[in-house]
Structure 1
Amino acid sequence: MLNARLKGAAPAGACPAPGTASLPSFKNSTLGLGTGATLLVLCAAAQSGRAHAQEATDKAAAALPTVTATAAEETTLQHLGAKVSSGALGARTQLETPFSTTVVKSEDLAERQVSKLGDVFALDASVSDNSGAYSSWASYITVRGLPLDWQNGYRMDGKPFLSYAITLPYEHFEQIELLKGSSGFMYGFGSPGGIVNYVAKKPTDQLVRSIDIGYKSSSIWSEHVDLGGRFGADDRFGYRLNATHEEGKTFNDGGIRRDSVSLALDARLTRDLTWTFDALYQKRKSTDQTPSIVTSGYTGTRLPATIREDGQKLVGPGQHLATDLQLYSTGLQYKLTPDWTLSTSYSHSTSKRSRNEGILYLQDAGGIYDDYRSDTREGHRFDQWQAMAEGKLRTGSIEHQLTLGASWQKQVNDYSSNSIYQWIGTGSIFGQNTNAYASTTDLALYRNSDITQRAVFASDTMKLSDRWSVLAGLRSTNYEQRGYGTDGAKTSEYAKKGVVTPTLALMFKPAPDTTLYTSYVESLEQGSSVGNLYANEGELLKPLKSKQYELGIKTDRERWSATAALFRIERGAEYANSANVLVRDGQSIYQGLELAASTRLGSQWQIGGNLMFLDTSYRRGAENIGNRVAGAPNFVATAQVSYAVPQVPGLKLSADAKYTGSTMLNAANQLKLPGYAVANIGASYATRIHGHDTTFRVAVNNLTNRRYWEYQYDNYIKPGDPRTFSLSAKLDF
């Protein structure tokens, strides 16, 4: 696998309090010019906002009919009325966002009883599952044929954290959002695959008291408690506490133990000023996880017959994955006028992992492999500061929805200097792995790399009429990436100032519940440090540039919703050439069509479906011209149906299925993974027991126990997860 090198810097400047005569000095600030300009515009906007406060209040009241979109959200599967965070664009509903998005609600997560990120987005055809439950691959997915960037592609309430090998506690989130495609303007450097944002449960005005107990095969038990509410004079203080314990034997006879707790607090310090604090801590350890299977040295054009991952056949003794995640954030939000809001936030996250992992280098169709063992420790830190202003202005007949801001973030990667990577024997995937390895515990960490980004950004959504609007956004980023040796000496450096990533969109609303749009986004993703699979191990590659064009439509009616998007993504290509050197050469093209719809039929039935047609190719490179891009399926389809049983009030039955088309395993197109389909079923029953709301749920994933090879990464595969059975009981008290 690839390691990646990262970077560092520092924020400056603060917004003046309302009514102060002058702005603070930014002479010595690294963000001085941009932040000062932001505050000047903001203060001018504030004065205009105060002068028109009553007018703004009247407009807000006039805008109340848009609440109908929120109501529609609860009657369709796509949740188009749900708010989705778009980084520098601020929060908008899916219907108002001129990009393809997906929102998965906490109720969806509970009903499907998910174990990995691929389960979360199992009903989205644009998402391919590369994940494996209880392993270091649990958060790997591909979006529109592009892998998400584990360094920059994951956020929690918009705050960055390093996701590699981290399986988050899904019970702690209100919803999980996916912003598809390039995200350079919205969030800075990152892969054009998109952004996953986990939205934590927040304090509520209503009292929340619930406990649920769950079971998953083979014998995993979990307990989860959710407590929330408000207290103090005028309910000034709010809290939300979630805690989970999970422990038992996994479907392949491995082990899992997880403890997680999250806390969200807020305080309404004044009528206009609110303070927030969020924290999440998780300690998780899995043992005897299934090894990775690598095909870079494979001879032949067809893979061996598929195997089932329901035992210890591939697992040599001593394998484990231990992770420790902590994320803390705090912020202030000040409502300057009815139309303008200022906010600032700071977050700090650490993620640590200790991996003793088998890597099987598959040799031939007979299933013979060379068994290597990787024993490593790794750690990551991520700090971010951001200040934003969001509000409205009018210039003549044009209404402007503005977002202005500045941010700083520093990412640090630590790796063990004495990591173990050694050959320990041979075997066959059809026989028992008997290779032994004595684990090393004395692994010292050193700073391998750091990355710093300083940025200023601004966006303006200009409402030209009741139907037409234009969005324009610009982010300017100073980027620094440095690599270090085990002695602390700098070994590599890449720096670039004023990297501009724009976004443009034109939107047309033929009706209040329908949006047609066309958009353009640019993005840069940071360079990788080449891993030990390649002949140029340790080399630092330069950042990749990507462009995305999209044309789409979204409509959200009372009983049905539908979306469609045509897209084209142009990205620099990265692949291993014939000399096994990892290179960035030429261009990868991804173009396709996404279709989705859901509807309610009567009062009992709800159905939905997704399709993605994808055409990919390598262009203008030294090798592989015209080949399909590795990891990009040519066709994906999903379908789901639910039925509320009228004879048993509270009982709902559901079923869903996903077909993933053929996928090339490498850029040379030497190996192709055939398509496969996976079906799931579930049921839920809501009732009252002794005056308390109680919900029972059951789910069966991979109902037919289908065997298939799953694409994980370039030249990496795994056997698909076997059939699993889950059930839970939730009591509100």
Structure 2
Amino acid sequence: MQIAVWLAFAGAAQAALAQSAASGEAAAPGASTAAPTSGAPAASGAERALPAVNVSASAQSDSPLNLRTPVSSGALGSRSQLETPFSTTVVTGEDLADRQANKLGDVFAGDASVTDNSSAYSAWATYISIRGLPIDWQNGFRIDGNPFISYGITMPYENLERVELLKGLGGFMYGFAQPGGMVNYVTKKPADQPVTSVSVGYRMDSVFSQHADLSRRFGPDGMFGARINYTHEAGKTYNAGDINRNSLAVALDGQLTRDLSVYFNAIYQQSRSSGQTPAIYTGSYVGTSLPATISGGSNFLGGTDQHLNTNLQLYTGGVKYQITPNWSFNTSMSYSKSSRDRNESTLTLLNQAGDYTDNRWNGDEAHQDIYWQGMFEGKVKTGIFSHQLVFGAAYQHQTNDYSSVSHYFTLGDGNLFQPNPWRYYSGAGLETYRASEITQKSLFASDTVQLTDRLSLLAGVRYTNYDQETYNLDGSLASRYGQNGVLTPTTALMYKLDPYTTLYASYVEALEQGALVNTIYANGGALLNPLRSRQYEVGIKTERERWSATAALFRIERGASYANDQNVYVQDGNSIYQGVEAAGSVKLGRNWKVAGSMMLLDSWYAKGQAYNGNRVAGAPQFVASGRVTYDVPQLPGLQVGAAAKFTGSTKVRPAGDLETGGYMIVNVGANYLTRIGGHDVTLRAAIDNITNRRYWMYQYSDYIAPGDPRMVSVNAKIDF
């Protein structure tokens, strides 16, 4: 089946070329409807960047790091990557389409600072590590700057304009969150020019998808805009599971006057999947090396009785007002709701022979987030100094509902290298109760002082009143943590070596909410206190016409949490992460583009009663990625490429006696742009993990999973 589809794709490309040549039309590069990156020249003809699979590269610029792209920086306001004194990454929607990303790990595959711990179509869909730290599934994700609970949610990447990543602490910018980083999904907005496109895709084993994108402006002088994106995906996944997903995104805006604009955005997604690969728990494992690797495409570990059904809803509206040429005010409010119905196994690994105990969890979960923010941004001068000021306030109320009767039980024993004999089918609609509520009320302010033409100083602080409560099944209060006047400051010094290069040094603090201990631990259900983190960073960013580069030295100090010898999950001592990261891209001649990224990371536990000096679980010592793309001059519009990423051996648990081993994944891809019947047509093909490399992937402390197998994807898009 896969070979037939692949051959059909190749035949279609050849037929399209023949038709184009016969009609006398040049095999056009196919102008993109997306706007060029600000400040960078749009690519022409054969130079248009069409990156290989799993590579973060811009389709409109010779500089795929997108350093001039505006990014949302929370309390810092909106500024470009080049003006942000922290390490960031931007992946454009065109990149996502070219690389046919299937999970969050694919989105950032070109960034060596990001380690893939994710698994599509499962509860682990958004698990990644940034600089060795896990991202916070409760507070680490935003859509257009608005918080939502990401657990188990695979975003409809087709509906996104770009994905932004802030590496490290976001305490000043966003409030309480784990120090790994922040992911912000930016949805497509009404375009200045009409957009009408339809695409169809195929991913092995037999998942078929359809996507439609429609944008129009109307009213006097196009003062109103509307954009609708719809995605449907259904079929059989690579591990013999099933997926059925429908996603709808609506964006409306209105330029009511020259200075006043309003907007409303909505996202609705319903996903039903079954047969996902279980996670493997190593907390009871007695060996010092893992069993032989198995394929993530194996259906030995589970069956169609396991399922994950999710629903995501997000509604947001806002007003933007340009008070004066130098001052603006914007305010927004959002409501998000996400729910999960899970029936999934966790395999407790027992020995190197691959024996395990199958523990099944079945329950329903739901989360709600109400969020409001108002912010003034402006510029003033005091004597010889100019100031870029931000003042604002925010309110967030999060509720978490869990099954009042969660089913967690043992099915029986099995072996990784034999079919799992155990099945447990269940329905949905289990009764839930209000398990916890979290409220944050904050004020924030920042001032970027221009000391000289080249030197500027940033100082900011967030003041937060924080309240976290957990409840018993009968609704009575079980525990509470509250603290007023929590300060999370940040400061940075920035120096412009030239208009295209920024050298910076920054410091930031953050707090993360206390963990609600998982029931697998002896103190399951306990609420731990918030943890404080600190980050020191020195970096440089530069973007030129044909090349760009970034580099950073960093140190992060975070309170350590782990399960001790008595299987009690405790907060004890610190975990330290320090290292260097660098990335760059260069256009060689007219046809070649080479890019790379690397991270060297040292990490250890310190000042605790246990594990002092041990490497922190989940922090690989070395990661490197690279890619090369080639525009085929004999066939304008065709680009081929290859990408590779090496992830060094990673400690699985804090004791430091078990590790995954290093592995390298190689991906290849091709993109062809042409015109058929007067319409732009884009044909894409990709093969992930072309060598079908088997490896153990670190997911979370004490948890591993088999890595994804070889994956073939094809897609065809037509613009009307």
Q: TM-score, normalised by structure 1?
A: 0.90
Alpha-carbon RMSD:
1.1
Aligned to 1:68: 39
Cα shift at 1:440 = 5.0
Aligned to 1:651: 638
Secondary structure (helix, strand or coil) at the match of 2:586 reads: strand
1:439 corresponds to 2:410:
no
Aligned to 1:527: 514
Aligned to 2:96: 109
1:472 corresponds to 2:456:
no
User: In the alignment, residue 263 of structure 1 is paired with which amino acid?
Assistant: V
Which runs of at least 4 in structure 1 moved beyond 2 Å after TM superposition? 66-73
Q: Deviations over 1:233-254 (max 9, x none)?
A: 1111001110011000001111
Cα shift at 1:68 = 3.5
Long gaps (5+) in structure 1? 1-65
Contact 1:609 1:639 in 2 (8 A): yes
Cα shift at 1:438 = 3.8
In 2, the alpha carbon distance for the partners of 1:268 and 1:576 equals 54
Secondary structure (helix, strand or coil) at the match of 1:88 reads: helix
Aligned to 2:340: 353
Secondary structure (helix, strand or coil) at the match of 1:401 reads: strand
Q: Deviations over 1:391-419 (max 9, x none)?
A: 11011111111111000000000000111
Cα shift at 1:316 = 3.8
Contact 2:306 2:425 in 1 (8 A): no
What are the equivalent positions in structure 2 for 1:329-368 lying under 5 Å apart? 329-368=316-355
User: In the alignment, residue 412 of structure 2 is paired with which amino acid?
Assistant: G
Distance change in 2, residues 1:67/1:701 (3 Å): closer
- Equivalent residue for 1:233, pick from 216, 220, 238: 220
Cα shift at 1:67 = 5.8
Cα shift at 1:441 = 3.9
What are the equivalent positions in structure 2 for 1:397-476 lying under 5 Å apart? 397-441=384-428, 443-476=430-463
User: In the alignment, residue 463 of structure 1 is paired with which amino acid?
Assistant: Q
What are the equivalent positions in structure 2 for 1:157-196 lying under 5 Å apart? 157-196=144-183
In 2, the alpha carbon distance for the partners of 1:545 and 1:570 equals 8
Aligned to 2:287: 300
Aligned to 2:372: 385
1:694 corresponds to 2:665:
no
- Equivalent residue for 2:300, pick from 291, 295, 313: 313
Secondary structure (helix, strand or coil) at the match of 2:370 reads: strand
In 2, the alpha carbon distance for the partners of 1:729 and 1:672 equals 41
In 2, the alpha carbon distance for the partners of 1:185 and 1:359 equals 36
Q: TM-score, normalised by structure 2?
A: 0.92
1:483 corresponds to 2:470:
yes
User: In the alignment, residue 421 of structure 1 is paired with which amino acid?
Assistant: Y
Aligned to 1:597: 584
Q: Deviations over 1:505-553 (max 9, x none)?
A: 0000010000000000000000011111111111110001000000000
1:540 corresponds to 2:560:
no
Aligned to 1:265: 252
1:517 corresponds to 2:483:
no
User: In the alignment, residue 392 of structure 1 is paired with which amino acid?
Assistant: K
Contact 1:327 1:350 in 2 (8 A): yes
Q: Deviations over 1:411-455 (max 9, x none)?
A: 000000111000011100000111122425451100000100000
- Equivalent residue for 2:669, pick from 663, 669, 682: 682
Contact 2:364 2:428 in 1 (8 A): no
Secondary structure (helix, strand or coil) at the match of 2:177 reads: coil
In 2, the alpha carbon distance for the partners of 1:136 and 1:544 equals 25
Q: Deviations over 1:439-477 (max 9, x none)?
A: 254511000001000000001111111100000111000
Distance change in 2, residues 1:492/1:642 (3 Å): same
Secondary structure (helix, strand or coil) at the match of 2:463 reads: strand
In 2, the alpha carbon distance for the partners of 1:202 and 1:399 equals 33
Aligned to 1:561: 548
In 1, the alpha carbon distance for the partners of 2:62 and 2:257 equals 36
In 2, the alpha carbon distance for the partners of 1:155 and 1:440 equals 31
Aligned to 1:250: 237
Contact 1:69 1:556 in 2 (8 A): no
In 2, the alpha carbon distance for the partners of 1:473 and 1:370 equals 51
Distance change in 2, residues 1:514/1:131 (3 Å): same
In 2, the alpha carbon distance for the partners of 1:216 and 1:222 equals 8
What are the equivalent positions in structure 2 for 1:183-222 lying under 5 Å apart? 183-222=170-209
Cα shift at 1:311 = 3.2
Cα shift at 1:133 = 1.4
Q: Give the share of equivalent positions with the same residue, in percent.
A: 58
Aligned to 2:67: 80
Secondary structure (helix, strand or coil) at the match of 1:672 reads: coil
Aligned to 1:33: none
Aligned to 1:38: none
User: In the alignment, residue 422 of structure 1 is paired with which amino acid?
Assistant: F
Aligned to 2:493: 506
Contact 1:133 1:721 in 2 (8 A): no
Q: Deviations over 1:65-118 (max 9, x none)?
A: x96357697211211111111100011111111000000011110111011000
In 1, the alpha carbon distance for the partners of 2:250 and 2:570 equals 44
- Equivalent residue for 2:651, pick from 660, 664, 671: 664
Cα shift at 1:643 = 0.6
In 2, the alpha carbon distance for the partners of 1:730 and 1:440 equals 38
Long gaps (5+) in structure 2? 1-36, 44-57
Secondary structure (helix, strand or coil) at the match of 2:347 reads: strand
In 2, the alpha carbon distance for the partners of 1:392 and 1:229 equals 34
- Equivalent residue for 1:728, pick from 711, 715, 718: 715
1:149 corresponds to 2:120:
no
Contact 2:241 2:303 in 1 (8 A): no
Contact 2:273 2:309 in 1 (8 A): yes
Aligned to 1:23: none
Contact 2:349 2:357 in 1 (8 A): yes
Secondary structure (helix, strand or coil) at the match of 1:107 reads: helix
Contact 2:341 2:428 in 1 (8 A): no
Cα shift at 1:255 = 0.4
